[in-house]
Each structure stands twice: as structure tokens, then as C-alpha cells.
Chains A and B, each alone.
Chain A
Amino acid sequence: MGVSLVADQPKAAEHRWGMAIDLDRCTGCEACVVACHAENNLPVIEPAEAARGRTVHWIRVDRYYEGEFPDVKVKYMPVLCQHCDDAPCEPVCPVYATYHNPEGLNVQVYNRCVGTRYCANNCPYSVRFFNFFEPHWDSPLELQHNPDVAVRMVGVMEKCTFCVQRVQRGKRDAKEAGQPVADGAIQPACVQSCPAEAMVFGDLSDPESKVSRLAESGRATRLLEDLGVKPKVFYLQKAK
């Protein structure tokens, strides 16, 4: 692999957050899926709506079967917002509701969103979700809501934020302690939960960070690499 996957972006901000997902460790247990629900106040979509394809999972585990019985292989791949450097969802939003923050996070400004859903069309990874109805929680389930994360209203898009609230908290804690953000100190909910430790989150602008080293390893690939959208999630392929 001659071309560096990491260093092809100018370093603008102090951090450039990225993730590495080791497909060799991933068992497809979906702990990450539920962790994300708990952290980010994702709405529960009732069965009738789920049947219409409206379930919201900011992170999902794609599973593909390969081959025929008995030589069947299964490929699991957790797919979340890839936080592309050249995110195709961003330029098409007419009201700047999708926005690239200085640290490379692709963030959604809910208040600004008018719901054209163009961003969802232009996302090759299909990781953008829409609030078809005002979200509802059967009381008292709403007591569980994370106060750090807004509940999204009807008519707006939403998507994985790399747990931006955890990123901010981690930076604040480091600042209060008067120290730089330690590698691994910030963990999005999915990364935190993963039993097999298949997911690693960190600063890609720090060449010594674990995620940078994994991203530079020979096993790293990016999803739909040929589209050239420069995703910041690196998939480490299974290898002998």
C-alpha cells in the first residue's frame, strides 16, 4: 500500500477524529447498536413503521452471506457515518444543516434542517436517518434520556455524530486537567461498549495514536474507497 490513507488531508485543527474497526475482532453481537441508542436518545420505531423501513440505527451491523451451504461465510461490518473529509452530503444541503466541523466531524444542525433529505440521497453509505414523525417514548422511558444529546423533532435528518458530546467532554476534561487529550480517553458509546474491542477511536492527526497506527497498517481499507469521499472510518480486514 503505497499511498497513505491518513495523511492526505491538511492539518487544520488540533484534532482530526477517526475510527478503526477491526473486522477480524467483530463478532456481530450488536452491543454497539444498543450503546448508540442509549447514548444518543434514538427513537424507538414501532413495528408498523419499522416494516416500512424507518428504523433508526446510527450504527448498524451489515451482514452478508458469501457462498452456498456448507461453504458459507458471513461478513459482518459495523457501518456508521464515515465522517468523510469530502462528504457528499454536505454540499447538497441547501441550508447548511450538514456541516463539517474543524475537527473533521460531519455534524448535523437539527434546528437548521428543513428536511429536503437530499443529504440522505447523496450518502453512499446510507447512514442518514429521517424523523418521519415526532419521536415518542412511552412514559417513563424518557427518564433514560441523555441530557447531553438533543431529542430530534419531526422532519429533520439525524445521523452518527461520533458522540460529539463525549468528544467535547473529553476535551474539556483534558483542558481542566491542563493536559493534552490522551489517546483513548475519548470513546464514543459504540467503541466503549464493544466486547471484542474491535473499534478504536482517536486522533488521526497524531501519528502515534492507536487509530493512526491501525489506519496505516496493511489491513486498513475504507468502505467504497473508489468514490473518493475520503472517509475517516478504517476497516481492518481479516487476515491470516
Chain B
Amino acid sequence: MDRRNFFKIVSAASGGLVTGACGKRGEQLIPLLVADRDVVPGEESWQPAVCGECDAGCGVIVRVMRGERVIEVKGERLREPVACIKKVEGNPLDPVSGGRLCARGQAAVQGLYNPDRLRGPMRREGPKGQAVFRGIEWPEAVQVAVERLKRARERDPQGIVYLAGPQAGSRARNVRAFLEALGAPPPVTFSLADFPLERKAAETVHGWQGLPVYDLANARYVLGVGADFLGTWVNPVYYGRQYGHFRQGRDTVRGTLVQAESRLSITAQSADRWVPVTPGAEVFFLAALGKLLLDQSLARNAGVLPPAIAEGFRSLDLAAALKTCGVTEHRAREIAQELGRSEAPLVIAGTSEVHTNSLQALEAAGYLNVMLGNVGRPGGVLPPANDAANQRPAFTNVVPLIAKAQVLILDGVDPAYTLPAATGVRAALEKVETTISFGPFVNDSAAYADLLLPDHHTLEASAAVVPAVTPGSGVMVSTAFVQPLYTTRATEQVLADLAKAMEVEFQPIAARAVAQEIAGEGHAWDEIQQQGGFWAERQAEKAAPPKPAARGRAAAEPPRTLEVSAASFAGDAAQFPFHFQPYLSVQHLDGRGANLPWMQEMPDPTSSAMWGLPVEIDTQTAGKLGIKNGDLVRVESAHGRLDAPAYVHPGAMPGVLSMPIGSGHQHYGRYAGRGANPLAILAPVWESTTGALALGATRVRLAKLGPEKQLIQFAPIDREHGPWGYR
């Protein structure tokens, strides 16, 4: 579909659909009599928006039609015509989503119409963490917030801690400006799906700011290491599209994918070959490959490598490295040969499982790409399009910040769920004097809030979002095109209200301003708005010959060395014999999708589990412990334990237990309660450079509890033929 054919998006966005939050009673009655002007019964319109289900920032289009909701006015039940959102699809103009959308994004509409969504501001009634709230009106809510902020500001502005979602764009800009006006520190973020290590490695190896873009579509031989790019890595829609082209989009070429990972992830399942790597030993595998490529002169661009790095690769003890990562020499040589001989080789490395040494692995992978000569080339690694780093909240380990916060503002993060219990995050949240939550739901963290100031749902809000990964510079915009369902208020608006009451200088920055700034001169707002964003031409196509970025940096800075060292794990190997790998789930990501019923009943691609996710146990271990599919097991680390159903996984590495993240919320509505939270039992181990939580650094032990069948599977059989069918 091209722009001419793109008839779905009508220009109604600028029309009168937008009605602000109703303030007075009299105003509330008017919609009962007068239908929204632009919503004609039976007629659909498609409006552009930005998906808010993860931080990738895919452009979407939204089908809007007239519907009716039942509301109660003075005890009387009335039917009110409202503009309803029926479906969310990818925006065909957006080069990131290309008109496609992942499962989570399509379920966004269930967040909008979720029965457990907050309908207005609320104040805490019960003890912290119990999520007992009482509804209040906005003026009171703003007044309370102002009081608390004023008090904290007078004492020490550093005590105001704002935890924001990692997205770059208008929200981040507004928050930053607001905090600046208050004299408070800038917003920080903590997310399991932000991939700070990938950013850091891109900076050290290539000198790039942001997430590198892998041109999978044009690559011929791809080695994925630790990056589940088809599942839940930086943008599965973008890489999913690329993957389709990579496999069957070219007439004569079918790309080959080899995936090295300690888990049979979705990407590993799709790969031609899966190379199981010992958890935390990815760097040894990559370094070994580098050595093989250099030693056998297979690296066509070896000369570009900084000498210290090349020397680092060459001096590696190959046998020891391969032993550490558990890959046979034969296999490693084979992969090195294939990489070296391919016309368009590509190494995609990522941290779907963060270890203490993950940065080393990512850097090694970066240097592999450098020596393979694919940097900046079609089918290679492309530089990030948006120099958006300054617009993003900084990633950091937030536990110490929460501990010293006086006023804690939660906006798009859920530290109580995503941080291990051993960090003491819940106790820290309990001690914070005032916690304000902007989220549209009460999640595990908001349960500790004193004040809930619910934002609109992203589909009701107006925003400009800079996508995390994009082939060319771009920005996605969404303009509010339906009337908010409840008396929620845009957080930008609330910030402005607060600033006004506190008499500080803050003007909210409109999405329009942010978008136009990125688009630059010569792009009319109307056009941007109607298209749902602005996208520059693809960079890969007009990419200049590769700039030897690594060399440039190497000249400017003291030469870096290749670091190859073992990851550290928490827990004694004798007492806790198993590796434990919680991973971002396709359904719930880092847990934020757990309140969507469609996501709960979508079968897990690995285990086919619904409504609560299992621990994945390899067949050997299961056989030894007498564990059968669906049995209840106990996973215990030095820092806690969880009880969850077992899934005996035919493709799990022996000695490695994996578990998708997303189950086991204590709060988050009626759909999210089942199962156990694997993050809770992790040891508080962090990657030292970025402060990312080392997801895979905890060792555990495993015990069978009993045959209670908590596991709900859509398809319990995972072999094509039953035990009796073929003999």
C-alpha cells in the first residue's frame, strides 16, 4: 500500500471529535443529547495513533465507529452514543510497522476498555500496598499533589523522583521540562524492555547514540546471539517483517539464520540451527568466532579493527572458550566459515537475557560485524536514525532513588513487579512519603500510591513518540480522536495544572511541536497528523559507503581492549544447581500486558500455556525429579521461592530453567492474578555499567510439590504424533 492508496485515514482527526474532559455536571449531560458529530452510525473511520503497549513506538491506525455505552446519571441508566475504538492495525505508511502489528499491540484496545481501568483520580484509604482507594475530584487531587510537591521541594528538590517509561517523545520532553522548572532531578527510567546494554555497546563500538538497526531483510547469513528479535526484543514487528523478506522475499536467495542462545526462544525456534550456549558464556562463543574468523582470514574487513581488539581476539584460548560456552569446535568452525563466506553476513546480538558480562558479549558482536565489513552496508548494521538520546529518560538502577525519594512519581513503570523482592523495593515504596501514580491502572507499584492521577489510555491521548528502532529518522504522532471514556486527565495537562498551582514556569510542549521539530521545515503539521507521523527516506538505500566509525573513535580515545570474562552468578552452584532465566514474554512483555484478557488466553508459543505461565524444565531434569507436565514445582533461590506449574520442554537446555515474565501480579485487575512472578525471586545483581537488572544471574534449586494441575494449555501435546501413532 502506498500513500495514494491510503484512503483509510480521513482528516477527521482535526475535526470536532476531540472533547476535553468534562468538568461540570452540566457539561456531562450534553453528550447524552448530542451525538459526536463526526461519528455516523455504521460508518467507520480510521485514525492514526501510536501503539503504547511497549516502548518500540509502532505507528498504528485505529478503526473508530459509533457505539453506545450505558451510563448512570442520578440513578437512571442511559445510553450514550460514543465513538468507540474497534480495532488497532499497523499504520501502512509507517516504515517500522509497515501496516502490521504484533499481538500485544492489537490487544491495546482491551486496555482502553478494560473493566479495571481507573475512572478518575483517587486517594489512598487503606495501608500502603493494599490498593484501597477512594474516588476524589480533580481539583482536590491536584491540590493534594501540589501540597506534597511543595513540601518536598522546600525541603530538598532532589527528593522528587520521577520514574518515567523509557519512550522518547513528547511525554519525556514535558516531564523533563516540568522537573526542570521545579528544580528537581530529570526523570529516570527502569524497564526490562529498554535494552540499555545494546545502546551502550553501540556507543562504545560504533560511537552511535541509540539502538543500531539490523538490516535483516537484506542479509544472507544471520547469526543471532542472545537476541530474541522475532519474539520480544527491541521491535518484533519490525524484525518480523524483515524476517519474512529475509526468508522468502527475494527470488533466488533464502537467508540462513543460526541462533545461539541459552533458551529455545521464538527466534531460535525459527532458526535453521539453534546453538545452545551456556548461560552467560555468549561472549566466549563470540570471541571464539572472532578468533576463528581472524585466524582463517575469513574476516574481509579485519584491517578496520582496532589493533588492541584484534589482538584480543587472536590471543584467545579457543579450546577453553568453547568449553566454557558449551559449543563444539566443529560447530564453531562451521559457523565461522559460513559467516566469512557469506555475501552478506550479519551478527545480531542482544540481551534478551542480561548477564553481568553482557556488555562484553555485545561489544564482541559489534567487532565481529566490523570485521565482517557489514557496518552501514545493506544487509548489515545500520546506525540509529534518531539521535534521540537526549529526549529519553536516563536508564538507571532505581532502587536507591526510590529509597531516598520524598515524592515518588510513577509514570509507565512498575518497579514493585519488575524488581526482585530482595532489592527491598516494596519496603522502599512503603517508606516513601508521597507516591503519585499517573498510570491508568492500579498495578503492583501503584498499590503503594497515595494519589492516583490516571492518565488517558494511549489510544485516547495525543502524543509524539520517537520509535526505538527505525530505518530512517521519524516520529509517530497520535492526536486524541475519541472522547475519553472516563474523567481521566492527560498527564501533560496535570503537570501544567500542578505547575500553575505551584507558580512555576512550565508550558506543556504539544505533540505537534515535538513532531515538527523532528520533521524539520517543509513538512506541514496537517500532513504529519493525517499520516500518523513523519518518516524520512530509508537510510539503508541512500547509505553512504561505510564510515569506519570504530577506527575514528579508536583514534580519538585510548584503544579499547576486548574483554572476555565469565559472568557471575548469585547462589552456590552446589546448593542451587540450576540457572534461572526469566524472559520477556510474547504476551505480557515485562508484565504490563497481563491485564489484557486476549493476552492471557493467547497460548504461549513455547508451552501453549494460557492464564498463567509455567517454569520450563528440560526433559532430563524433569525425568530425574519425576516431574510431569503440569505438576506444581517450587523454584527456590537464595532470595525467595515461587510455586508454579512445570512445563516439560523438549528443547530446554539441561540445567537451565526458563520462565516467561508476566504472571503473578498482586494487583493489576481481574485478569492478571494467576501464576507466579519469576522476577520476585531473583538476586539483586546488576550489570555494572548500565544498572540493568541481570535477569539470568540467579541460581536456583527445583523441587516437585505435587500433581496439582494449575497449568492450562491450549494444546497439551507438543509432538506431531502421539505415543501410539508411529512405532
Contacts and interface: CB of A to CB of B under 8 A. Distances in A.
A119 B241 CA distance: 37
Interface in A68-117: 68-70, 72, 74-76
B431 to A, nearest CB: 35
A33 B604 CA distance: 11
B236 A45 contact: no
Contacts, number: 203
Interface stretch (B105-113, B560-568, B688-696): B105-113
Contact of B100 (A47, A195, A236): A195
A33 B714 CA distance: 13
Contacts of B143: none
Contacts of A145: 67, 86
Contacts of B88: 38
A70 B328 CA distance: 12
Contacts of B670: 138
Given A30-B602, A63-B608, A138-B670, A68 B67 contact: no
Interface string B108-123: 0110111100000000
A147 to B, nearest CB: 6
Contact of A69 (B230, B267, B618, B720): B618
A60 B237 contact: no
Interface stretch (A10-18, A49-57, A153-161, A205-213): A49-57
Interface stretch (B23-31, B268-276, B448-456, B489-497): B268-276
B42 A31 contact: no
B349 interface: no
B244 A34 contact: no
Interface in B69-91: 69-70, 82, 84-90
B612 to A, nearest CB: 7
Contact of B266 (A29, A68, A70): A29
B267 to A, nearest CB: 8
Contact of A143 (B42, B69, B101, B269): B69
A149 to B, nearest CB: 10
B252 to A, nearest CB: 12
Q: How large is the interface on B (under 10, 10 to 19, 20 to 34, 35 or more residues)?
A: 35 or more
Contacts of A72: 264, 274, 650-651
A66 B264 CA distance: 13
B269 A144 contact: no
Interface string B273-314: 010100000000000000000000000000000000000000
Interface residues of A, number: 56
Contact of B586 (A24, A30, A193, A236): A30
Contacts of B106: 31, 34-35, 38, 193
Nearest to B264: A72
Most B-side CB within 10 Å, residue of A29, A30, A76, A141: A29
Contacts of B603: 30, 33, 57, 60-61
Given A29-B236, A140-B69, A197 B84 contact: no
A44 B86 contact: no
Contacts of B330: none
Contacts of A143: 67, 69, 82, 84-85, 113
Interface in B41-63: 42
A193 B240 CA distance: 11
A68 B597 CA distance: 34
Interface string B326-344: 0000000000000000000
Contact of B714 (A47, A55, A66): A55
B652 A141 contact: no
A64 B719 contact: yes
Contacts of B236: 29, 195
A31 B103 CA distance: 4
Interface string A192-220: 11111110000000000000000000000
Contacts of A152: none
Contacts of A55: 601, 610, 714
A33 B102 CA distance: 10
A23 B149 CA distance: 56
B227 interface: no
B605 to A, nearest CB: 5
Contact of A138 (B103, B115, B267): B115
Contacts of A239: 254
Contact of A70 (B86, B112, B230, B276): B276
A29 B103 contact: yes
B241 A195 contact: yes
Given A29-B240, A195-B102, A195-B240, A141 B247 contact: no
Contacts of B85: 143-144
Contacts of A192: 89, 99-100
A50 B611 contact: yes
B65 interface: yes
Nearest to B485: A140
Contacts of A63: 269, 605-606, 608, 715, 718
Contacts of A62: 715
Interface of B: 42, 65, 67, 69-70, 82, 84-90, 98-104, 106-107, 109-110, 112-115, 230-231, 236-237, 240-241, 243-245, 247-249, 254, 264, 266-267, 269-270, 274, 276, 485, 586, 597-603, 605-606, 608, 610-612, 618-620, 650-654, 670, 674, 709, 712, 714-715, 718-720
Given A63-B606, A145-B86, 17 more contacts: A27-B230, A28-B266, A35-B89, A57-B603, A57-B714, A69-B618, A69-B620, A70-B276, A76-B605, A138-B115, A144-B113, A147-B42, A147-B65, A193-B90, A194-B100, A196-B241, A197-B245
Enumerate the 4 nearest inter-chain pairs by beta-carbon distance, A residue then B residue, closest first.
Answer: A195-B240, A196-B244, A72-B651, A74-B269
21 contacts: A25-B248, A28-B269, A29-B103, A29-B240, A31-B100, A31-B106, A33-B602, A34-B598, A35-B89, A69-B650, A69-B653, A72-B264, A74-B269, A141-B113, A189-B87, A193-B90, A193-B106, A194-B244, A195-B98, A195-B101, A198-B244
